[in-house]
Structure 1
Amino acid sequence: ESVQYNNSVGYRIFGEPSEPEPEELSLVFVENLYEIKLGTTTKQTALKLLNFDGIPEQPLKNTEGVIYLSGNLEIVSISTGGAIKGVSVGSTTISAIYTTSINSVPTTFSAITNVIVSKKSEPRPTPASAPERTIIGQIIVDGKVIKNIYEDDLVSDGGIYSFEATKTGDSARLWLLGSYYKQIANKAPKGTLQLLWDAASYNLPLKSEEVLKEANSIANSKINILLDKVDDKELIGSAIAAVDKLGGKMVSGLVDFSVTVEGKTKTANIESYDLYVERTIDQLNTLDKYSTSAMKLIEDDEVFTFAPYEFDDDNATIKYRGNGIFAIVNNPKTFSDITNHWSKMNVEKLAARNIAFGKDDNLFAPNDYITRAEFAVMITRALGITEEEGTINFEDVQGWYAEDISTAYDAGLINGRSDGKFYPTEKILRKDMAVMIHNAIKFADIDVTAKNIEQILSMFTDSSTIDEYAKESTAICADADIILGRETKEFDPDENATRAEASAIIERMLRFLEFIN
């Protein structure tokens, strides 16, 4: 006779006849189903004796009288102690036969249950712990870190190590450990460290001697590039006063570009460079490019000075040999005596950029001759180096042009005479003007050579009259379409240059250098 219990079946096998017990017992496995993995062995299976109504009578602790059987030995084996082992994948049954004495009557019980053997899961390899990464730099916007920089982020694209501040704000900062800055400078000496932002960007030349000098002298240094939208009322007031002096208006906000080399006990501010460094002011509205340019604010003097630049769509790329506060300024200018003059465009463009200047607010005097001092001032302004202080003072140079002449001399743009004088009020000769323009091109680090000087100079009918010292410079300027010659096809090297001619030549030079559009 069998008894069903939770899918397990118990059997009662009677020995000698006896009087029925008040309670009928049955044997069952504790588990209705055993699930084991292939090749593994379970602990001893548990059995229970149940009353007829399914209530456990007692756990079967003494299993010496139990015989265990496997329904399929190819799938499951079972030990004499009741431990199951998975032999192969599949399902079968196991059974147990238990003989005991009840009221001195030998009684045999049996039980059966199911077993499923499944594949053993492959152990997952313990992931190797990633080596701890060292932060070598960060990008920060408004004081909040938005990106950590690691060594594997130092990847260049054609020598440009570029990082972007992806959030808008009032200030953006990129810092990089000095040791890694020097490392990439060695790898890409002509490369740049670039910070991109929504309002501005900066391209720091890795070869900058000023930065490398400080990075080598300051222990555990950080190189910082900082871009700030100026909101200081005092600085804005200085800018307004400066633009009022020009008679123009700002068409962008003020942006402060700075670079520092920072250590634990010292911070060096990089104020100037020995080369032109590019930075941008972005998101500009539609501009009058004819009369609009980039300008640098000289705070103490409350003046704006021309900063070489180029416009590209809604961005201005500014090229300047230093750091500080910059803006885009619209400053249209004209003079009553150039309305029908051939140099009108050249003069107006230079006047709008505070490079050319009239005799007064209304007259330019285009056909007057220009002096050596005036031309030195114009070319110094055109190169954006009026802030750079010269170290030489000619004994005959005094007055409003003295600082610019000293700067021009240190920049290699001009030379004095053998007697140590400059003769500032003398009219400049056209051949000397060509030499100064050539010097300006070299100062801007543009490598130009004239392959066939005599052939180039043959465009002028009087080329044979050009002095030897001026031939190469004249040829280079002519080949670059900076000097075109006079209407008679003569260069007239020993003639004085007019104010109109000087303006035209400097304006063409700026376009050649890509210092204006």
Structure 2
Amino acid sequence: MSQIEKKNVYNRERSKTQVKSTVMKKTSQALAALMIISMLLPVLAFAGIEFDLSNLKYNKYNNTVSGSVYVSSDTYDKNSNVTFGVYSDNDLKNVLDATYGATFRETTVDGVTYYDFNIKLSSSTVPDSVYVQTYYGAGYGIGNVYDLVYVQNSGTQGSLPSSSCCGWGGGGGWISSNNGVIEVSGDSIDAYTLQRAFENSKEVKIKIKGDKLAIPADVLAEALKKGAISVTIINDNGTITLPLAALKLEALAKELGAELKETKINVTIAKVADATAEDVTKAVYAAGGNPIATAVDFNVTASGNSKSVNVDFGSTYVSRTLNVNKNLDAKKATGALYNETTKKLSFVPSTFESKDGQTVATLKRNGNSIYTVIEANKSFEDLASHWSKADVEMLANKLVVEGAADKQFQPDRNITRAEFAALVVRSLGLNSVTANTYFTDINSSAWYAGVVASASKAGIINGYEDNTFRPDAQITREELAAMIIRSLSYAGVASEVSESNQAQQLAKFKDSSKIVWAKKEIAAAVNAGIINGLTDDTIGSAEKATRSQAATMLKRYLKLADFID
């Protein structure tokens, strides 16, 4: 069944409930009867019908709704009727009146045929706004194609609020009755359909046929005020879930110099062009992996006032999904970001799940980019019998850790503060920051300048009192634990422990009094299972951390944050 046919079935079923309204007059009763007859008619070729919004008026003082609708002339049938229903509520349950008394205007302009209407409402109800639904179809009665608008009381002037829109035109949408997903055929969704969806669910899903969707920002803002959580956009390329609280809609409108009702949130989920796809494939092989998913460009912008800006999600991780073309071992696979400037891949927090025989990768990151999924099977000669072998090789497959030399990891070598900063930035999927305004001993040309700046900006690392970072100093277990706990906090995972629990966690270690400044962080790391003692009763906070210890702690925190399986 086509989408238009589904809309019509949905409309007919909903209209059957409407005929039960006790406020319906004789005209609405006749309309209901005709509607039932029309349901028995075969589905015919569909003609588009739309309101002429320029002259649509509702005057509650004289109980009239007036305006024009138009039908495409190439499908116009003079034997087909235009009928109307007027409602006081957006659920279309309270019928104010109904009529099929539109006047055919014997003119055709720009390929469309017009009908004028002037509906005198017989209901005593006089709301400040009404919902007007019109139908066009075969035979004498309710038709197959309809349009819906919302119009406020206009006095003598008449205007349609800019947040309102036509029902099933170029944008629009239809709420599937069996899975709660709005299906949109065009590249935008109208305010009315989205409003109704949020009335039924705090987590709305929208399926689109193309690569792009424009969403009215004012509807999202109102939904957020009422406790809505998210909107998920779905197409054949993947999905993206936008947490409404992270969109900062008012700030985006202000940045654009636009009213919120004029602002759109624009989502793109598109396969990359052939040339870029080839570059991504080359990057996958260069990283030592194999491609197992199509590369997709996920992009979210805001537009208004003839301007457009990228949406900044701050530290909120936004979930996207990609379909994977094979069964996989999650320890050997990862989501990856493709950098168009460097033409390299980097780790993206990602988990895997099998749904209906299809493996789906969920990638979490707080920025726009091109994403794909890769599989690797890396190993290091000096890990053959090492206790950290499984953890290190998993993180190497996921592009988090790298070898120190060809086929060598050097697991027992101490790790520097700069090296661990780089690991933390990779594990969080952060971009490097080019400008360094944080520490006096960081040379802008140093390999670690960008990652240290990025980690500092995210609140993961602090310098010393003399405003230095000491990048080449070997990191202590105390410093490492503190950076891990801050990374958990950045990822949105609460890990703090109460003072009593802190004392309890540290009491088992006879050398806990030697912890200099990070007692609460080490206690939190012990409580979360991220750090263990060097022995059963020693924590070794001042000891230098090794590369294998750092990798193992990273792996534990990534699992705790649900960044890996």
TM-score greater than 0.5 by the shorter chain: yes
1:437 equivalent in alignment to 2:437? no
Instruction: State the match for 1:280 in structure 2.
Output: 321
In structure 2, give the amino acid aligned to 1:182: A
Measure how far apart 1:186 and its partner are: 2.2
How far off its partner does 1:372 sit?
Answer: 0.6
* One-letter code aligned to 2:505: I
- 1:509 is aligned to 2:509: no
Q: Please name the residue that 2:522 is paired with.
A: 474
1:125-174, CA deviations, whole angstroms, 9 ceiling, x for partnerless residues? 97357614243764699984697562543325663122223x5xxx4333
Deviation sequence 1:345-377 (CA, Å, 0-9, x none) = 111111112211221121111011111111111
Mapped pair 1:188 → 2:227: yes
2:504 to 436, 440, 455: 455
Shift of 1:493: 0.4
Once the two structures are superposed, the pairs formed by residues 257-336 of structure 1 within 5 Å of their partners are: 257-270=298-311, 273-282=314-323, 284-313=325-354, 314-336=359-381
Q: Counterpart of 2:468?
A: 421
The one of 445, 450, 457 equivalent to 1:410 is: 457
Question: Contact 2:438–2:456 (CA<8 Å) still a contact in 1?
Answer: no
1:342 aligns with 2:391: no
- TM-aligned CA deviation for residue 494 of structure 1: 0.6
Moved more, 447-456 or 288-297: 447-456
Residue 302 of structure 1 deviates from its aligned partner by 0.1
CA contact (8 A) 2:247 2:313 kept: no
Quote how far apart the aligned CAs of 1:298 are.
0.7
Q: Percent identity?
A: 29
Q: 1:47-58, aligned counterparts within 5 Å?
A: none
Match of 1:179 among 218, 231, 252: 218
Query: Would the aligned equivalents of 1:394 and 1:420 in 2 still touch at CA under 8 Å?
Result: yes
Structure 1 counterpart of 2:165:
135
Change (3 A) 1:149 1:211: closer
> Does 2:418 correspond to 1:370?
no
Offset of residue 515 of structure 1: 0.3
Aligned length: 386
Deviation of 1:210 after TM superposition, in Å, equals 5.0
Contact residue 390 and residue 408 of structure 1 kept, 8 A: no
AA aligned opposite 2:274: K
Aligned mate of 1:206, from 234, 244, 252: 244
Q: Which residue of 2 aligns with 1:218?
A: 258
Counterpart amino acid of 2:278? G
Q: Tell me by how many angstroms 1:463 deviates.
A: 2.2
Q: Partners in 2 of 1:234 and 1:427 — Cα distance?
A: 43
Question: Which amino acid in 1 is paired with 2:165?
Answer: I
Query: What's the secondary structure of 1:239's corresponding residue?
Result: helix
Across the aligned residues of Structure 1 and Structure 2, the Cα RMSD in angstroms comes to: 2.5
3-state SS of the aligned residue for 2:366? strand
Task: Return closer, same or farther for 1:325/1:157 CA change in 2, 3 Å cut-off.
Answer: farther
- Alpha-carbon spacing, 1:285–1:156, altered in 2? closer, same or farther (3 Å): farther
Higher helix share: 2
Give matches, 1:66-77, under 5 Å: none
Cross-structure match for 1:122: none
Q: 1:453-483: per-residue Cα shift (whole Å, max 9, x none)?
A: 011122334223223x211111111111111
Matched letter for residue 233 of structure 2: L
- 1:302-322 per-position Cα deviation (integer Å, ceiling 9, x unaligned): 011111111121111111010
Cα pair 1:291 1:353 within 8 Å, conserved: yes
1:180-230 Cα offsets, whole Å, 9 max, x none, are: 1221222236x1121123431111111125554223433412112221122
| Structure 2 SS opposite 1:260 | strand
Matches within 5 A, 1:152-163: 152-155=195-198, 159-163=202-206
Distance 1:495 1:145, change over 3 A: closer
Distance 1:409 1:187, change over 3 A: same
Structure 1 residue 254 corresponds to structure 2 residue 303: no
CA deviations on 1:219-268 (whole Å, 9 max, x unpaired) are 412112221122x1221132123223212121100111111212251122
- Answer whether contact 1:254 1:326 (CA < 8 A) is retained: yes
**8 Å contact from structure 1 (residues 256, 326) kept in 2:** yes
Contact 2:198 2:223 in 1 (8 A): no
CA offsets 1:375-397 (integer angstroms, 9 cap, x no match) = 11101100110345565252322
C-alpha distance in 1, partners of 2:407/2:415? Answer: 18
Within a 5 Å distance, the mapping from 1:116-127 to structure 2 comes to: 127=98
Residue in structure 2 matched with residue 353 of structure 1 by the alignment: 398
Q: TM-score, normalised by structure 2?
A: 0.64
User: Which deviates the most, 422-431 or 136-145?
Assistant: 136-145
